[in-house]
Chain A
Amino acid sequence: MTTEIIYSAVGEAIRTEAERVLADGTVAAVVGYTMARRKGSAQPVVLTKPEEANQLIFSAACVNNLAVYLTKAKKELPREGRIGIVVKSCDLKALVGLLGESQLKRDSLYIIGVPCVGVLGSTLQPSVELNAETVADKCRECDDRMPQGADFVPTVALPASPALEKKYAVEIARLEAMTPAERWSYWQEQFSKCIKCYACRQVCPFCFCEQCLCDRNKPQMVEGTPRPAGNLAWHLVRAMHLAGRCAGCAECERVCPMDIPLNLLNRKMSRELKELFHSEAGFEVREKGPLAEYNEQDDQSFIK
């Protein structure tokens, strides 16, 4: 089956289910995707009436992690009643993390899972076909295409995953092979492009602080200007704050208007934590991540 046929069946099932749960009062609103003006484009939408459910779609351009709309940093969604949300399995991992951090309650969610064969890496041109060239890098490493533990998942059979080169793994290996000076100059060049638009922060489900430390000016903890010092500080704060929490939806990287490979940092951190603490984010609801918990069995080899 082609991607279009799979996603058209998924879209149909989502519309029917959303209409049902809005009509019978299971949910007060559904957060999903709808078409936008450009050919092939999609955008997030919040629906509250059953007759609006026919606006919902699913396609390879449905790239957003909608979990961000459920966080306390976003105040635009209705706060009363259960919320239905359309998630791919990578997005679901963010919900699992937010449940663990007591940001959401499971019984206030109605999770509509999407059987997923991948989404576009870039939506600069949303009408391009999904193929081995255009698929998002995160999808190349995905081994979890059917969301687990959702309230509803359309019954659509997925073809076997094609074997695609794991670009993050390759890129991390390339950077690890560099000397520290080379690596430093690589990241300096990447961060020099940063214009502090904070798109990476605003789309991140785990950046739910109502006031970001980096926005504070009394005292100013991090230089806010888009200059080398402030850029480096921001990206290090971001990477460290997400370590052990980021489950790899890669939204930060997709939305960066300056193409800074932000998820590469996240994946590297995630790999370190897996090696050091045998911990991977997004699989189970747990209150404390590896960096928030003290365990005598933890690796202490760094203490010399």
Chain B
Amino acid sequence: MRKQLSSEHLTALLQALIAAGTRVVGPRRVAGILLYEPLITPDELVLDELPRRSVKEAFFPVCEDLLAYEKQGQQLTLQDVDPASFPQTVLVGVRPCDAAAIPVLDAVFSWDYKDQFFLERRARTTIISLACTSADDACFCTAVGLAPDEPRGADLMLTPLEDGGYLAESHSEKGEALLEAHAGLFSEPGAVQPLPLAQPQTLSFDLKKIKAWLDEHFEDESWDGIATRCVGCGSCAFVCPACHCFDIVDEGSEKSGKRRKFWDACGFWKFTHHASGHNPRDFQPKRYRNRIMHKFKYYDDKFGQTLCTGCGRCVRLCPVGIDIAGVLEEIEKKANE
């Protein structure tokens, strides 16, 4: 379904959703940075900048409780978190590079084990994405097969128009339901002209060729050259819309406490540190190699797609300037040799 939505009516839509008790999450400035955060009023929404963290935390929070325990004498009580208590949510202003990562996460969290914490939030969420009209030289969505107007992952996609307002296109039943429930706010599209889309730089990767090289080069001296500089933090993984590793820990005392799930990263030394003391990835280049292998080989082997949407966050934020697009360029060059 294809409709038109004025800027005023977008505000009215969000206002109506908030008034009806729906949790509306969108880019909002918090202590100086832009994050996907619950909106109290629609005017908090900031749509002209890519949020610092990706939208994955709407389904896969930085940290969440899985259960609580309490011990009284010999009596141990466990209190589960009820995923049915997660609120109905509308995500708004989601960048296409963030939205496209959501189906990537769906595949992982619903594969052999059905992660209720992820899936229940996912089921209760409608995603309104926003086509991208500006890019910088860290953006490379087009190089990994996506686009500034990529609808993958979106229920409803807004495309900014020359004369203000948006074209609103539904891409799922949830999107259609949202259009129908608020039909009064949407109009039939006239002869509208969309704003020019962002032009991410002209990089283009042959992901098949890159994967073929990775298939054969688990051991290769170039990993040292690429990754000796890696200092082993989790910045890249944590700002990535598609990275999804987590750790689970019990915190509290003998008497009471909580079991928590929280983000983890393969760049950490601790990530593969065995209880025996042995660490199979004992050297930083081995950890960085895993990052590239997981994104462009292992995930592809298993799910037939790439674990990167080209948002460029890791490129902008790597403390030591490691540029994953530059690394892919280098690998493709080797593959062509």
Contacts and interface: CB of A to CB of B under 8 A. Distances in A.
A and B form one complex: yes
A116 interface: no
A226 B31 contact: no
A278 to B, nearest CB: 33
* Range class of the B interface residue count: 35 or more
B231 A202 contact: yes
B177 interface: no
Contacts of B53: 195, 257
B326 A202 contact: no
Interface in A246-304: 251, 254-255, 257-259
B283 interface: yes
Contacts of B285: 76
Contact of A76 (B137, B228, B315, B326): B228
A225 B229 CA distance: 27
A26 interface: no
A283 to B, nearest CB: 26
B109 interface: no
Contact of A195 (B31, B62, B326): B62
Contacts of B235: 197, 199, 255, 257
Main secondary structure on A side of the interface with B: loop
A269 B235 CA distance: 26
Contacts of A69: 229
Contacts of A126: 321
A257 B317 contact: yes
Contacts of B325: 37
B63 A225 contact: yes
A203 B63 contact: no
B243 to A, nearest CB: 11
A46 B53 CA distance: 31
A37 B329 contact: yes
Contact of B231 (A46, A203, A227, A254): A203
B238 A197 contact: yes
Nearest to A64: B320
Contacts of B321: 36, 41-44, 64, 123, 126
B262 A226 contact: yes
Given A74-B231, A202-B232, A223 B251 contact: yes
A124 B31 contact: no
Interface in B29-45: 30-33, 35
B262 A257 contact: no
A241 B319 CA distance: 21
Contacts of B62: 195, 226
A75 interface: yes
Q: Which of A41, A193, A217, A225: most chain B CB closer than 10 A? A: A225
A112 B306 CA distance: 42
B9 interface: no
Contacts of B138: 38
A2 to B, nearest CB: 23
Given A198-B234, A199-B319, A258-B33, A224 B229 contact: no
21 contacts: A38-B315, A64-B319, A64-B321, A74-B231, A124-B317, A195-B238, A195-B263, A196-B234, A196-B263, A197-B234, A197-B235, A198-B268, A199-B231, A202-B231, A203-B233, A225-B63, A225-B251, A226-B62, A226-B63, A226-B263, A255-B233
Given A193-B31, A198-B234, 6 more contacts: A44-B321, A126-B321, A199-B234, A224-B251, A225-B63, A251-B319
